[in-house]
Structure 1
Amino acid sequence: MMTIIWRLRPGALACLGLVLVLSACSSSDQTSAAPSSTTSAGQASPPASSPAPGSATPASPGPSSSPSPTASSGGTPTCRAGQLRVSYADDADGGAAGSVYGHLVLTSTSTSPCAMTGWPGVSYVGGGDGHQLGAAADRTDRTGSPAVIVLVPGGSAAARLQQAQAGNFEGSCSPAQADGFRVYPPNSRTAVFVEHAAQACRSGSAHLLTIGPVIAR
């Protein structure tokens, strides 16, 4: 039996070694290219740090602030009806012929300063149920801007009130006994009742009351 011996020249051996090395490198690259994880659909999962499509990172909320109160002067809030005690007193000097003069006094019951400016709204009420009698008070001193009055706790302002006698309006009065006044403090939509017996008129055409702006006391 004849034995065949392959003899390779040195250059051929070098080429054979290079072929083996390249083959090993190619196999290693194909193995490392495989995906590290897949979804159930066989697609690569997105990195955990990536946001989902169509989503946005919520912004941090800004600082909240409460609305400021309505200011009448220098940031002082307007006096509300619930912060005031309202009373009426006739003037010491009585009145003129056919009228009686007095003052509505508005005293602060608040624990902090409040402000007011302008005219109270005033009307007679009666019948034991608070229904209005006659026309609401007309305003005096309407030229110029009324003063802004700042009330400290316990402080007060006053508005002069003229009451014409119902007898001045014979034929258009339809007299009725008033239980007192319905008073709206300046710039307020809430009224308070002030007890004061007086002869009023049912008719709205009879203007018995005239009110001035609030002034400091």
Structure 2
Amino acid sequence: MTKLLMILLLSTGPLTVVGGPAQAAAPECTNAKLVASYRSTDGGMSHEYGRIVLRNVSDAACSIRGYGGLSYVGGGDGTQVGAAATRTAGPVRRIVVRPGQRVVSEVAATDVAPYPRRRCRPEHVDGFWVYLPDETRAQFVAHPTTGCRNHRVHLLAHRAYVRP
């Protein structure tokens, strides 16, 4: 018999587990629990830097792991503009997000100016489609800018979600 099982059998009081396994039991975050927003942080050399922020607006903890999805959207009708964001390599961890807490994904956006107009095919962008990991529906986040209609031109890159 393992030591843990022996301790549990010999215990006469209620068992309380702190951290570890209790955190792993948090269900996966969904659009109903997390609300997306965007915060610009810096810019320069034809790039804008910012972060997608997911805030838990529910009254229960949930867990998130990975990248999710990110793309420009425009046309006033929800049409994706250009290529989806590429994933910047980095550590991927499961994070428990308690009510009111946030997680962020760092975003790098390249300006359309360095690309020839014929290759890029510039188009107005209303904002982002933000997909939580394992979700099939996106959240719209307003961020007017210009994107490229050409799906071979990758303007967006983002990192896995982390604590701010």
TM-score range, shorter chain: 0.7 to 0.9
Q: CA deviation at 1:110?
A: 1.5
Structure 1, residues 16-65: CA drift from partner, whole Å, max 9, x if none?
xxxxxxxxxxxxxxxxxxxxxxxxxxxxxxxxxxxxxxxxxxxxxxxxxx
The corresponding residue for 2:127 is 180
1:148 aligns with 2:94: yes
Q: What TM-score, normalized to structure 2?
A: 0.82
The corresponding residue for 1:100 is 48
The corresponding residue for 1:197 is 144
Higher CA-based Rg: 1
Given the alignment, which residue of 70, 94, 113 partners 1:122? Answer: 70
Structure 1 segments (4+ residues) deviating >6 Å = none
The corresponding residue for 2:60 is 112
The corresponding residue for 1:168 is 114
Q: Gaps (5+ residues) in structure 1?
A: 1-72
The corresponding residue for 2:27 is 77
User: Does the CA contact (< 8 Å) of 1:120 and 1:211 recur in 2?
Assistant: no
Q: What TM-score, normalized to structure 1?
A: 0.63
User: SS at 2:113's partner residue?
Assistant: helix
Q: Gaps (5+ residues) in structure 2?
A: 1-22
1:209 aligns with 2:151: no
Alignment RMSD: 1.2
Q: CA deviation at 1:115?
A: 0.5
The corresponding residue for 1:28 is none
Q: CA deviation at 1:120?
A: 2.4
Counterpart-to-counterpart distance in 1, 2:32 and 2:24 = 22
More helix by share: 1
Of structures 1 and 2, the one with the larger relative CO (CA 8 A, separation 6+) is 2
Structure 1, residues 163-200: CA drift from partner, whole Å, max 9, x if none?
10011221311000000000101222121000110111
Q: CA deviation at 1:114?
A: 0.2
